[in-house]
């Protein structure tokens, strides 16, 4: 086979084979299924001959076989869903006030929903223990379920002092290969469960989000809406496979068909589901799926912070100190804006009272601070503090949720820095974007999942990286982190897109994709 034919085979296009001599001169017995074995394409088969063209050349009959090319999934190792395991980990601290040494993202007030470890700091308590890694989901802290609490509440639980900390974490194990024999063996461990939910009226939603997967037929429960009918009932779980609803077979069904049955049912909704032991996570990019569902997702809501610009003009003595310390700078690995880490009880800004810890500094006496590194910003602040008057422009980050507890009191022993969720309230002109280029083979998944995007009930939400799968291109590249915000794919802005629009765009990229992301540091605990 020539290079051109090989190329066309790899592209999956219809082509003509080189001339093939008629077997035994018979024109009617040519096989309609042509197996093709070749060192270059051993996992491809030529299926369903479309046309046999008989050509007379120099007194001999030859056949050109025009075929359609299909990929046989059965010839390759079967890939399971993303399987994860729950583990209980006991962390011991010599100093009960010592930081754990990890950064976290997520919370029920963000599209990520769960609390996810973004980074483990070197030489920390968590690093020394060695069992917790970036991407782990923290489900419980000292017996308290934090899988559905706000970001601030989770930080508060994890910062609680004590010599021993009990954590339950969900750890991603990545894709695994399984044979048909293993499949049948695991099937014996599954159980079929009957669940009946009773609606008060036809229009009442059940609070279930359903998805379709690429590697398994049928439909699966992705999530249960907190406070919804299904969640209150407590018998359905994430990743349950729906076999039937009200007696209608859905083993090859779609989320749309299931939603239609649910919505047209007056009262009792009878589920038959298949449950496999262990916890599984869905990979949104691989599964291509936030399919239609009978209710809205529980992991939603815009981040609970916004920013307000303020101008502070003060008169001062020439040698009087401003009395602030700062952090950030565009030389920081996260390329942060300059922000106030403390306002000292001496100095003119403490006396004035309008500049607060956490404020982002935009300018001093007309000098732009937003693009400076840390040392340039320190120099600019010191030189301008020598004048009789100072005009500071700053952004104050405001919580939109008045019920959130203040973490200031609980930060004794912690190096202060803004919470991850507060960075999400910054306007886009202060975002510092970076391009991350991922490459993969034809048969690989990119290896990350996304959440967020436009929803009618919530409007525009940012897209976030929720899961990075071990052993995949995204994992090996090491630049992408859980909690990173995707702002563009191959230069196409993601703002305003829905999840179901962005996922196909990612899946269409065959071997290379450029993700433009904003990466804010997770909250330190």
CA distances from 430 to 29, 337, 358, 425, 520 (A): 71, 7, 15, 10, 12
How far is 342 from 27, CA to CA, in rounded Å? 88
> What pLDDT shows up at residue 522?
94
The lowest-confidence range among 28-42, 108-122, 177-191 is 28-42
Kindly tell me if the per-residue pLDDT of 313 is higher than 50. yes
How far is 45 from 35, CA to CA, in rounded Å? 6
The lowest-confidence range among 132-141, 318-327, 335-344 is 318-327
Comparing C-alpha atoms, which of 19, 53, 48 is closest to residue 33?
48
pLDDT digits (tens, 9 = 90+) for 448-499: 888 888 877 777 888 999 888 888 899 888 899 999 999 999 999 998 888 8
How far is 177 from 339, CA to CA, in rounded Å? 48
Name the band, by pLDDT with cuts 50, 70 and 90, for residue 69.
very low
> What pLDDT shows up at residue 304?
67
> What pLDDT shows up at residue 224?
82
> What pLDDT shows up at residue 134?
92
How far is 217 from 200, CA to CA, in rounded Å? 32
> What pLDDT shows up at residue 50?
36
Q: What is the mean pLDDT of residues 346-357?
A: 88
Inter-residue contact 105 to 483 (CB < 8 Å): yes
Q: Taking all residues of the chain, what is their mean pLDDT, rounded to a whole number?
A: 75
Q: What is the mean pLDDT of residues 228-239?
A: 87
> What pLDDT shows up at residue 348?
87
Name the band, by pLDDT with cuts 50, 70 and 90, for residue 403.
low
Q: What is the mean pLDDT of residues 100-114?
A: 91
Q: What is the mean pLDDT of residues 307-324?
A: 87
> What pLDDT shows up at residue 51?
38
Spell out a b/e string for 208-247, using b for 16 or more CB atoms within 10 Å of the CB, else e: bbbbbbeeeebbbbbbbbeebbbbeeeebeebbbbbbbee
pLDDT digits (tens, 9 = 90+) for 23-42: 333 332 222 222 222 333 33
pLDDT digits (tens, 9 = 90+) for 376-392: 999 999 888 888 889 99
Q: What is the mean pLDDT of residues 338-349?
A: 89
Inter-residue contact 220 to 242 (CB < 8 Å): yes
Name the band, by pLDDT with cuts 50, 70 and 90, for residue 18.
very low
Residue scoring higher pLDDT (58 or 218):
218
Kindly tell me if the per-residue pLDDT of 302 is higher than 60. no
> What pLDDT shows up at residue 245?
92
> What pLDDT shows up at residue 254?
82
Q: What is the mean pLDDT of residues 136-143?
A: 90
Is the alpha carbon torsion for 309, 315, 319, 320 positive or negative?
negative
Residue scoring higher pLDDT (37 or 260):
260
Q: What is the 3-state secondary structure (H, E, C) of 76-104?
A: CCEECCEEEEEEEEEEECCCCCCCCCEEE
Q: What percent of the chain has pLDDT over 70?
A: 71
Q: What is the mean pLDDT of residues 72-96?
A: 65
- Indicate the SS3 state at residue 74: helix
> What pLDDT shows up at residue 176?
57
- Indicate the SS3 state at residue 341: strand
pLDDT digits (tens, 9 = 90+) for 355-382: 999 999 999 999 999 999 999 999 999 8
């Amino acid at each position: 086979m020539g290079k051109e034919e090989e190329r066309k085979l790899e592209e999956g296009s219809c082509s003509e084979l080189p001339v093939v001599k008629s077997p035994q001169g018979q024109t009617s017995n040519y096989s309609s299924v042509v197996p093709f074995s070749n060192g270059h394409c051993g996992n491809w088969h030529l299926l369903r001959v479309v046309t046999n063209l008989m050509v007379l050349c120099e007194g001999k009959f030859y056949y050109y076989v025009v075929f359609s090319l299909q990929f046989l999934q059965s010839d390759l190792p079967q890939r399971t869903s993303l399987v994860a395991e729950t583990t209980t980990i006991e962390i011991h601290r010599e100093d009960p006030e010592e930081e754990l040494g990890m950064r976290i993202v997520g919370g029920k007030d963000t599209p990520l929903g769960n609390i996810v470890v973004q980074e483990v700091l070197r030489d920390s308590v968590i690093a020394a223990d060695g069992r917790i890694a970036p991407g782990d989901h923290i489900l419980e802290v000292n017996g308290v379920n934090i899988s559905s609490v706000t970001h601030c509440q989770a930080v508060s639980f994890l910062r609680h002092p004590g010599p021993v900390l009990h954590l339950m974490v969900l750890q991603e194990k990545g894709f695994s290969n399984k044979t048909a024999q293993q499949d049948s063996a695991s099937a014996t461990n599954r159980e079929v469960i009957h669940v009946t939910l009773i609606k008060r009226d036809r229009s009442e939603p059940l609070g279930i989000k359903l998805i379709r997967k690429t590697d398994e037929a049928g439909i699966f429960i992705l999530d249960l809406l907190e406070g919804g009918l299904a969640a209150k009932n407590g018998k359905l779980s994430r990743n349950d496979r729906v076999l039937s609803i009200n007696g209608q077979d859905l083993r090859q069904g779609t989320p749309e068909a299931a939603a239609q049955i649910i919505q047209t049912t007056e009262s009792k909704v009878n589920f038959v589901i298949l449950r496999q032991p262990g916890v599984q996570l869905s990979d949104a990019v691989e599964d291509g799926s936030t399919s239609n569902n009978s209710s809205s997702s529980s992991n939603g809501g815009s981040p609970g912070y916004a920013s307000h610009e303020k101008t502070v003009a003060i008169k001062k003595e020439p040698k009087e100190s401003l009395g602030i310390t700062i952090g950030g700078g565009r030389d920081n690995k996260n390329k942060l804006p300059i922000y106030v880490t403390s306002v000292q009880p001496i100095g003119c800004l403490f006396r004035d009272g309008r500049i607060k810890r956490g404020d982002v500094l935009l300018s001093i006496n007309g000098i732009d601070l937003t693009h400076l590194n840390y040392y340039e910003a320190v120099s600019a602040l010191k030189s301008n503090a020598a004048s009789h008057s100072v005009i500071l422009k700053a952004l104050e980050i405001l919580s939109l949720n008045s019920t959130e507890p203040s973490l200031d009191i609980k930060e004794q022993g912690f190096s202060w820095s803004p919470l991850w969720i507060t960075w999400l309230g910054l306007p886009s002109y202060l975002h510092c974007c970076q391009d991350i280029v991922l490459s993969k083979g034809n048969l690989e998944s990119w290896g990350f999942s996304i959440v967020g995007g436009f929803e009618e009930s919530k409007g525009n939400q940012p897209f976030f990286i929720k899961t990075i799968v071990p052993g995949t291109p995204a994992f090996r590249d090491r630049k992408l982190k859980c909690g990173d915000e995707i702002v563009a794919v191959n230069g196409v802005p993601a703002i305003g897109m829905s999840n179901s629009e962005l996922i196909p765009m990612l899946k269409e990229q065959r071997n290379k994709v450029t993700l433009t992301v904003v990466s804010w540091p997770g909250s330190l605990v």
